[in-house]
Amino acid sequence: MRVMVLVKATEESENEKGPADWSKDQLAMMEAMGRFNQSLVDAGILLAAEGLSGSKDGALVTFNKGKTSVKDGPFTEAKELIAGFWLWQVKSLEEAIEWVKRCPNPHEGDTDIEIRQIFEPEDFASAFNDEEIQKEKNFRAQMAARAAKK
């Protein structure tokens, strides 16, 4: 099963300026995170890993009753924002939980890390026929092939 592991933002992470301004503690955490990420690679479960800039650099697009609106960041409620993510291929939710428990704390204070299962084409078997499921698999393979070319 594939899971997305979401590192929740904090007020501090939302206000970080970037690596050039990191403290010694933040640099040490990044080194520890690098070692953790390497252990994920060595275990064969890491598919992707990225940190995200603060919401001040983003936009929020809202769809409401057929209309769209755009709000520039920053956004309120840091605890509801994402600071980074991993994509993992694991055998179970329990395995993902065990890996997260080994993770160095990505922030200086309290941190939440959320684990969510990614739907696979087979998960839609009750709603779609075999042809539609195969079409989705082909689409995903096409995306992966294009990404590999870049």
According to DSSP, the residues that pair with 5 across neighbouring strands are 86, 115
Global pTM?
A: 0.83
**Exposure string over 3-12, b if 16+ CB within 10 A, otherwise e:** bbbbbbbbee
Sorted by where each begins, the domain ranges of the chain are: 2-118, 122-150
Give the pLDDT of residue 90.
98
pLDDT at 20 > cutoff 80: no
Q: Under CATH, which architecture does the 2-118 domain have?
A: 2-Layer Sandwich (3.30)
Q: Which of 11, 15, 98, 82 is nearest to 50 (CA)?
A: 82
User: What is the per-residue pLDDT across 30-83, written as a single tens digit (0 to 9) for each?
Assistant: 899 999 999 999 999 999 999 998 899 999 999 999 999 999 999 877 668 999
Q: Which residue has the tokens 């929740």?
A: 8
Q: pLDDT digit string (tens) for 91-128?
A: 999 999 999 999 999 988 899 999 999 998 888 778 88
